[in-house]
Amino acid sequence: MEPPETSLDSDGSKLETAERIILRWDSAATDGARGKMIFQSDRDEVDRFLRAVDEIQRSLSSVSFSSSSSSAATTVDEHEVKANSAIQIAMARLEDEFRNILLSHTTTFEPDSLFLEESSSVSPSLCVELGEDTTTVTTEEEELNSPGGSGSSRLTRRRSSYRSTSSIREMDLISPEAVSDLRSIVQRMVAAGYSRECIQVYGTVRKSAMETIFKQLGIVKISIGDIRKWIRAAKVCIRVVFSSEKRLCEQLFDGICTAMDETCFMETVKASALRLFTFPEAISISRRSPEKLFKILDLHDALTDMLPDIEAIFDSDSSDAIRAQAVEIQSRLAEASRGILSEFENAVLREPSIVPVPGGTIHPLTRYVMNYIVMISDYKQTLDDLIMSNPSTGSDPNTPDMDFTELESKSPLDLHLIWLIVVLHFNLEEKSKHYRDTSLSHIFIMNNIHYIVQKVKRSPELREMIGDHYLRKLTGIFRHAATNYQRATWVRVLNSLRDEGLHVSGSFSSGVSRSALRERFKAFNTMFEEVHRTQSTWSVPDAQLREELRISLSEHLIPAYRSFLGRFRGHIESGRHPENYLKYSVEDIETIVLDLFEGYTTPPHLRRR
């Protein structure tokens, strides 16, 4: 390579010097220039090259080439041809330099560090499963089982922080020292009419970088089970990656050419942004199922949270499609949520299982529906905005009645939850009819409605939504079922301990019929043993309810048996084989009652002292 020129004397010599500097870096003609980069040389060489480009630009636009003589015109044409040739070489070189700087100075993207801050405001995808009553926040690959207990308070705290304000976090996608060099190249390429080539190079390099970032974020291939991952990645994409890309475009192109910064920005991110939204769009139009409701609400919340940022970043006319797609997907997710809730209500009403659950315990449908309702209450803030109409109760005689007039103060969402409990109760009543034992059907209703009441009471949010008025009504239902059970089971047993029919009177004597008394003791023993045999296999899973039921029936049974035994024991003991009739002491009865409702698979032996 020739030694660098140090001065530009006259206009002609300046032009010739500039041409020599540019030609020295012609990769196609000079072996020494091939494989070397100007901007990797010393800064003096960079400045010389840029000044040379500026000089040729000035020469092309200078009126000094104009002349009236033909010989002067010929000279001007020769200079113009050389200048044009030099500028083409310079632009090819600057294009290579532009590409190399973009590639070599791209900042290493570390998504894990960005996820740390985002993860605090991202909710897990949720899935309700049958038969579970615990709330568990799981890892990314797992899902949340059906909620219960005090988990709703924690989820409410999570949801209260979901609305963001200023959440855009820009980072340097290109090292700051390289930005000045890139902008100096852009200025000269645009001035020479090479803005299209500049945009193409920038778009090609940065789109490739965007593809790499998408792979690092893990959203190139994503399934419905990865909603949590998508939300985290989407927030990083919008608030960090896209916003930083927009800032980079402004740093390089703003003020150089009209709307060039926006053109380069959209050239780079449009395909990635539209692809980012294909996942929530696919979810919004997919087949609806109850389990998807909370995933959809998480997506809806995330999009709602990000919309102000999307509108701030994609604020030009050229990005209308991206803003419109985000708003449309948000609307579709809202409609899908409303549709799923309505379909779920109908599914609960029509749930067809008719096989009685053993022992009259809590039906899986009851667990499922109540866990689902608790989850809905955790999304109250969102669903209050989405659910605008009351439930459709219809006029079908096979559906329950619901009087909304006494619930006028309730929101549409509150009414939907109450309606869900109403249709669940209606279905449970139908299922109770499949028990052959009437007493067991009452135990079944008591267990299930009590479970509903307890689920409501344990969730402050749900209790507020359901209201004490309807909660008292539910409490009355399960207590009435408990009373019906006692009447159906124990009235006959207690009747065997009455005095009627035991006394005889005649001409010569009056007193107690020993044979009638023996039959009474025998009948009591038989009925009590039958109750024990069957009802020890029945289940009252709630310990407090089970204890209350035992106490209630003992308050009637034990005093009656103690009184009967006290009055008539002597008549039996004075006769033959008293042990066949006086089989149980009062203490035995008290002990045996403790076996009831334990849900034994086989009846235990009668425990006698």
187-196, 353-362, 570-579: least confidently modelled range: 570-579
Q: Are 490 and 438 in contact (CB under 8 A)?
A: no
Read off the pLDDT of residues 355-385 as tens digits, 9 standing for 90 and up.
Answer: 999 999 999 999 999 999 999 999 999 999 9
Which helix (H) or strand (E) segment holds residue 572: the answer is helix 543-573
Contacts of 264 (CB under 8 A, 6+ apart): 199, 202, 203, 206, 249, 252, 253
What is the mean predicted confidence (pLDDT) over 391-402?
A: 77
State yes or no: pLDDT of 596 exceeds 90.
yes
Report the 3 state secondary structure along 418-432.
HHHHHHHHHHHHHHH
pLDDT band at 604 (very low <50, low <70, confident <90, very high): confident
What is the mean predicted confidence (pLDDT) over 30-44?
A: 79
Cα–Cα distance, 65 to 519 (Å, whole number): 136
Read off the pLDDT of residues 487-518 as tens digits, 9 standing for 90 and up.
Answer: 999 999 999 998 887 876 644 444 788 888 99
What is the mean predicted confidence (pLDDT) over 100-115?
A: 80
How would you classify the pairing of strands 503-505 and 510-512? antiparallel
pLDDT of residue 7: 41
Cα–Cα distance, 135 to 140 (Å, whole number): 16
pLDDT of residue 83: 83
Residue type, 104: S
Say which residue, 6 or 447, is predicted with more confidence.
Answer: 447
State yes or no: pLDDT of 436 exceeds 90.
yes
- φ and ψ at residue 67, rounded to 5 degrees: -160, 150
State yes or no: pLDDT of 128 exceeds 50.
no
pLDDT of residue 68: 47
Q: What is the average pLDDT score of the chain?
A: 84
Q: Which residue has the tokens 């409605």?
A: 449
pLDDT of residue 544: 96
Contacts of 165 (CB under 8 A, 6+ apart): none
Chain CA centroid to CA 120, Å: 14
Q: Which of 461, 370, 432, 417 is nearest to 130 (CA)?
A: 370
State yes or no: pLDDT of 520 exceeds 60.
yes
Contacts of 308 (CB under 8 A, 6+ apart): 164
Q: What is the largest CA-CA distance in the chain?
A: 167
- φ and ψ at residue 263, rounded to 5 degrees: -65, -45
State yes or no: pLDDT of 254 exceeds 80.
yes
pLDDT of residue 155: 37
Burial class (CB in 10 A: 0-12, 13-18, 19+), 232: buried
pLDDT of residue 251: 93
Say which residue, 408 or 595, is predicted with more confidence.
Answer: 595
Q: Are 415 and 390 in contact (CB under 8 A)?
A: yes
Contacts of 41 (CB under 8 A, 6+ apart): none
State yes or no: pLDDT of 568 exceeds 60.
yes
Q: What is the chain's length? A: 609
DSSP state of 237: I
Q: Are 186 and 253 in contact (CB under 8 A)?
A: yes
pLDDT of residue 226: 85
3-state DSSP assignment of residue 385: helix
Which helix (H) or strand (E) segment holds residue 512: the answer is strand 510-512
Say which residue, 62 or 547, is predicted with more confidence.
Answer: 547
What is the mean predicted confidence (pLDDT) over 564-584?
A: 88
Cα–Cα distance, 147 to 373 (Å, whole number): 9
Q: Which structural domains are found in the chain, ordered by start?
A: 351-486 (no CATH), 497-504+511-606 (1.20.1280)
Q: Which of 16, 18, 26 is nearest to 1 (CA)?
A: 26
